[in-house]
Amino acid sequence: MHIVVVGLSHHTAPVEVRERLAFAPTAMEKPLHQMLALPAIAEALIVSTCNRVELYAASKEPDTAVATLRRFLADYHGVPLEEIEQNLYDYQGEEAIRHLFRVSSSLDSMIIGEPQILGQIKTAYGYAVEFRTAGLILNRFLHKAFSVAKRVRTETGIASSAVSVSFAAVELARKIFDRLDDKGVMIIGAGEMCELAARHFVSNGVTRVLVTNRTFERAEKLAAEFQGRAVPFEQFTDHLASVDIVLTSTGAPTFILGHRQMEEILRRRKNRPMFLIDIAVPRDVDPKVNNLDNVYLYDVDDLQGVVQANLKERQKEAHRAEAIVNEEIGQFHVWLANLEVKPTIVALRRRFEEITAQEVAKTFGNHKDLTDAQRKGIEAMANAIVNKLLHRPIALLKRTQNETGGEDYVDTVRELFDLPAPAVDETPLEPLDDDTDNR
Amino acid sequence: MTFDVLLFKATLLVYSVATLLYLVGVITRREQLGHCAKWTLVGGFATHCIALGARWAATGFPPAASLYEALSFFSWALVGTYLLFDLRYRIAALGAFVCPLALVMMIGGSAASKQKITVNPILDSWWFPVHVTLAFLGYAVFAVAAMAGVMYLLQERRVKAKKFSGLFFRLPPLDVLDSINYKCLSFGFPLMTMGIISGAIWANSAWGGYWRWEPKETGALVTWFLYAALLHGRLTVGWRGRRAAIFAIIGFVCLLFTFLGVNLLSGGQHTFRSFGE
Are residues A156 and A86 located together in one domain of the fold? yes
Strand A89-92 and strand A184-188: the pairing is unpaired
Taking the CB of residue A350, how many other CB atoms lie within 10 A of it? 12
A311 touches chain B (CB under 8 A): no
Show which of A259, A293, A308 is a domain's final residue.
Answer: A308
List pLDDT tens digits, range B44-55: 999 999 988 888
| Together in a domain, A122 and A248 | no
Residue B210 has pLDDT above 70, yes or no: yes
In tens, the pLDDT along A38-58 reads 998 999 999 998 889 999 999
Contacts of A296 in chain B (CB under 8 A): 159-160
Please indicate whether, in this complex, the C-beta atoms of A273 and B239 are within 8 angstroms of each other. Answer: no
Q: Evaluate whether ipTM surpasses 0.95.
A: no
Interface test with A, best of B27, B152, B162, B246 (most A CBs within 10 A): B162
A169 and A141 in a common domain:
no
Domain co-membership, A292 together with A146: no
User: For residue A188, what are the β-bridge partners?
Assistant: A212, A248
Nearest CA in chain A to B237: A270
Domain boundary among A308, A323, A344: A308
Between the alpha carbon of residue B60 and those of residues A299, B51, B116, B125, B204, the distances in Å are 65, 14, 10, 12, 23
Task: Report the 10 Å Cβ neighbour count for A319.
Answer: 11
CB-CB under 8 Å, B174 with A273: yes
Residues of chain A predicted below pLDDT 50: 423-431, 433-439
Nearest by CB: B29 against A157, A305, A310: A157
- In this complex, the residue of B169, B172, B243 whose CB is nearest that of residue A293 is B243
Q: Is the Cβ of A175 closer than 8 Å to some Cβ of chain B?
A: yes
Q: List all residues 6 or more positions away from A428 whose beta carbon is below 8 Å from its beta carbon.
A: none
Distance CA A158, CA A313 (A): 8
pLDDT at A64: 92
On the CB side of A226, CA atoms within 13 Å amount to 32
Q: Does A295 touch chain B (CB under 8 A)?
A: no
Task: Examine the domain organization and report whether A126 and A177 are in the same domain.
Answer: no
Transcribe A34-63 into DSSP letters. Answer: HHHHSTT-SEEEEEE-SSEEEEEEEES-HH
Burial A410-433 (b: 16+ CB within 10 A, else e): beebbeeeebeebeeeeeeeeeee
CB atoms within 10 A of CB B177: 29
* The one catalytic residue among A15, A27, A37, A50: A50
| A364 and A288 in a common domain | no
Out of A157, A175, A302, the one facing B174 most closely (by C-beta) is A175
Nearest-by-CA chain A residue for B162:
A302
φ and ψ at A9, to 5 degrees? -145, -175
- Residue B85 in 3-state DSSP? helix
CB atoms within 10 A of CB A261: 16
A393 CB-side CA count, 13 A: 23
Nearest CA of chain B to the CA of A29: how many Å? Answer: 44
Tell me, yes or no, if A306 comes closer than 8 A to chain B by beta carbon. Answer: yes
Q: Which domain-ending residue is among A160, A180, A204? A: A160
What's the farthest any 2 CA atoms get from each other in chain A?
120
Local confidence band at B268 (pLDDT 50, 70, 90 cut-offs): low
* DSSP strand pairing (A274-278 vs A2-9): unpaired
Q: Residue A145 is part of a domain; what is its CATH number?
A: 3.30.460.30
Q: What is the C-alpha to C-alpha distance for residues A400 and A337, in angstroms, rounded to an integer?
A: 9
A204 and A247 fall within a common domain: yes
Which tens digit of pLDDT belongs to each residue from B217-261? 888 889 999 999 999 988 888 888 888 999 999 999 998 888 877
Domain count, chain A: 3
Decide: B69 and B58 in contact? Cβ < 8 Å: no
The pLDDT value given to residue B1:
64
* Chain A environment of B172 (Cβ under 8 Å): 178
Helix (H, G, I), strand (E, B) or coil at B9: helix
Based on the number of CB atoms within 10 Å of its own CB, is A178 exposed (0-12), middle (13-18) or buried (19 or more)? Answer: middle
Cis bond before residue A420 (omega within 30° of 0): no
Residue A128 and residue A261 in one domain: no
pLDDT of residue A404: 61
pLDDT at A437: 39
Q: How far apart are CA A280 and CA A360, in angstroms?
A: 93
Residue A52 has a pLDDT of: 93
A129 in a structural domain: yes
Question: Which of B172, B176, B241 faces A293 most closely, judged by CB atoms?
Answer: B241
Is residue A43 within 8 Å of A138, Cβ to Cβ? yes
Residue B113 is predicted with a pLDDT of 73
pLDDT value, residue A41:
92
- B68-72 contacts: CB < 8 A, separation 24 or more? B68/B109, B68/B110, B68/B112, B68/B113, B68/B114, B69/B109, B70/B109, B70/B132, B70/B136, B70/B259, B70/B272, B71/B105, B71/B106, B71/B108, B71/B109, B71/B112, B72/B8, B72/B11, B72/B48, B72/B105, B72/B106, B72/B109
Q: Do B173 and A175 touch (CB under 8 A)?
A: yes
Instruction: Kindly identify which residue of chain A lies nearest to residue B176, measuring between CA atoms.
Output: A178
- How distant is the Cα of A197 from the closest Cα of chain B, in angstroms? 19
A243 and A274 share a domain? yes
The answer to whether residue A162 neighbours chain B at the CB level (below 8 Å) is no
Nearest residue, CB atoms, B165 vs list A271, A273, A309: A309
Sign of CA dihedral B236, B238, B239, B241: positive
A352 and A222 within one domain: no
| Domain boundaries, position A367 | 334-416
Question: Annotated catalytic, A50?
Answer: yes
Please name the amino acid found at residue A234: E
Question: Does residue A430 belong to any structural domain of this protein?
Answer: no
For residue A312, the model assigns a pLDDT of 83
DSSP A248-261: E----SS-SB-HHH
Q: Comparing C-alpha atoms, which of B157, B242, B226, B243 is closest to residue B188?
A: B226
When scoring B28, B154, B175, B237 by the number of chain A Cβ atoms within 10 A, the one with the most, hence best to mutate, is B175
Residues 6+ apart with CB under 8 A from A192: none
Contact predicate A22/A48, CB 8 Å = yes
In angstroms, what CA-CA distances link A130 with A127, A135, A255, A273, A341?
5, 11, 60, 55, 30
* A89 beta partners: A7
Q: Is residue A200 part of a domain?
A: yes
pLDDT computed for residue B276 by the predictor: 44
Q: Which residue of A has its CA nearest to B236?
A: A270
